[in-house]
A = this chain, B = another copy of it.
Amino acid sequence: MRLGAFLYPTGYHVAAWRHPEVPADAGVDIGHYAELARTAERGKLDFLFLPDSSAMRGGDTAELSRTAIRYVAQFEPLTLLGALAGVTERIGLTATISATYNEPYHSARMLASLDHISRGRAGWNLVTSQNPYEAYNFGLPEHPEHGVRYARAQEFAQVVKGLWDTWSDDAWVRDKAAGRFFDPAGVRPLDHHGEHFSVRGPLNMPRCPQGHPVTLQAGSSDTGRDLAAATADVVFTAQHSREQALAFTEDVRARAEKLGRDPEGVKVLAGVFPFVGRTRAEAEEKVERLQDLIDPQVGLGLLSSELGHADLDGSDLDGPLPDIPVSNSGRSRRDLLVRMAREEGLTVRQLYKRVAGSRGHWQVVGTPESVADELADWFHSGAVDGFIVMPPYLPGGLEDFVDLVVPELRRRGLFRTEYTGTTLRDHLGLARPGR
């Protein structure tokens, strides 16, 4: 089983930053991240995963000021991973990079640099940016359209990987006596001329330890799956049921095969949002503790956007959901939530609590044994190759997973007790592309 650790600074739950055991300045506390990295490495996890955005996500400052999950305050991931490379030895280090707002030459170079610095532990999560507010920080009047972003991302990945392939593995002879630093036969330019990029290359850096740092991808639309099938070593997906996960995995693998790739070279990992306690009651207490910290204004804001930006101002939090008009931003999610509220007789507060917690990812609550049961079930069914663990709050949620669930997975022979390789490709069972 493959396991990654998703590190949103204070944790994935919307109210994590208010938890008494969570450092509220986690996003800019290097000591906090060093501790998380060491904890994940102690658990022999495959990699750390850093989500990212190059702008605060939202336009209403008053609303943003009440939440820590809108990319308001966190390290830039590549500089952070440079630092974490120095405090870890084996764990993989992966950073989210947006193809929409970056230059492929810089990204290829920084990732190759990180791969050298970490001696083969670098990876990247290639995204097209879910946050439209990034556009304004890069001189664009608006976020490019979905299809344009994905077309650019396809070309971006092609250029980045092409640059990594500009040097052969044996080009660097460094022959002091002959005065030959590298062998000219081992280098070729890229000479890419595409719709979005023109990049001559070569990369001004020797081929990196992994050949190619590991590529993760998280698109789930049709176009997104095509990008994953074409470019990804690892696909990160949000799924709610084993059956849906299995269908997703089969679909992505089939697309990869159609492109001539070995489907086994595409690992699928599902996000899991776990609450673990020594007893089930303890685990549920952990859920409630966080749920109770959700700021009504933040909860209402989240619920409103899920309901198609419905106006919920002034509604009674402990009364029933008022009538929600149909908006033009899609009605399936609105209908589902309205029906759920009506059928279960949920109050507004109860409904936003449902929405605010896992935000689309699979929530599991229980004992180490029951959580391991659920993970094992998905894994054994072939639905996924593993999980990206999204601790609700940090560092506690990660410690719970590493200290309680991982030993249980080991007892079942599902997870490593020691790293057997040195690179992230080794950990994931991915071949190293040579040249």
Contacts and interface: CB of A to CB of B under 8 A. Distances in A.
Contacts of A76: 106, 109-110, 112-113, 205
A79 B118 CA distance: 10
A103 B107 CA distance: 13
Contacts of A78: 78-79, 82, 110
Nearest to A55: B204
Nearest to A298: B179
Contacts of A119: 30
Interface residues of A, number: 75
Given A79-B81, A174-B17, A183-B65, A102 B106 contact: yes
A176 interface: yes
A66 to B, nearest CB: 5
Contacts of A81: 79, 82
A18 interface: yes
B53 A204 contact: yes
Interface string A180-204: 1111100100000000011111101
A67 B181 contact: yes
A169 to B, nearest CB: 13
Given A86-B86, A181-B72, A201 B117 contact: no
B24 A176 contact: yes
A212 to B, nearest CB: 16
A105 interface: yes
A72 B204 contact: yes
A199 B139 contact: yes
Interface in A55-86: 55-56, 61-62, 64-68, 71-76, 78-86
B113 A180 contact: no
Interface in A258-291: none
A297 to B, nearest CB: 8
A139 B197 contact: yes
B181 A68 contact: yes
A19 to B, nearest CB: 8
A206 B74 CA distance: 8
A30 B174 CA distance: 17
Contacts of A79: 78-79, 81-82, 110, 113-114, 117
Contacts of A106: 54, 76, 102, 106
A295 interface: yes
A54 B109 contact: yes
A83 B198 contact: no
Given A20-B176, A83-B117, A204 B71 contact: yes
Contacts of A18: 176, 179
B204 A105 contact: no
A62 to B, nearest CB: 5
B204 A75 contact: no
A204 B73 contact: yes
A295 B179 CA distance: 7
Interface string A139-182: 10000000000000000000000000000000010101001111
Which of A66, A76, A110 has the most chain B CB atoms inside 10 A of its CB? A76
A297 B187 CA distance: 20
A158 to B, nearest CB: 15
A103 B106 CA distance: 11
Interface of A: 17-18, 20, 24-25, 27-28, 30, 34, 53-56, 61-62, 64-68, 71-76, 78-87, 101-103, 105-106, 109-110, 112-114, 116-117, 119, 136-139, 172, 174, 176, 179-184, 187, 197-202, 204-206, 295, 297-298
10 contacts: A55-B204, A56-B202, A61-B184, A65-B183, A72-B182, A73-B182, A73-B204, A79-B114, A136-B200, A138-B199
Q: Which 9 A-B pairs have the closest CB atoms?
A: A82-B82, A86-B86, A136-B200, A24-B174, A76-B113, A179-B295, A79-B82, A139-B198, A105-B137
